[in-house]
Structure 1
Amino acid sequence: MFTEEEWQRFLKYFDILKTISSTSLISVRYSRERGIVEYIARDGKTIVRTEHIKDILNSLPHQEPSS
Structure 2
Amino acid sequence: MKADVDDDRCRGHGICCTLCPEVFELTGDGYTVVREAEIPAEFEQAVRAAAAQCPERAITLG
Name which structure has the greater RCO, CA cutoff 8 Å, separation 6+: 2
TM over 0.5, shorter chain: no
Q: Compute the TM-score of the two structures, normalised by the length of structure 2.
A: 0.32
Which structure would you say has the larger Rg? 1
User: Which structure shows the higher helix fraction?
Assistant: 1
User: Which structure shows the higher strand fraction?
Assistant: 1
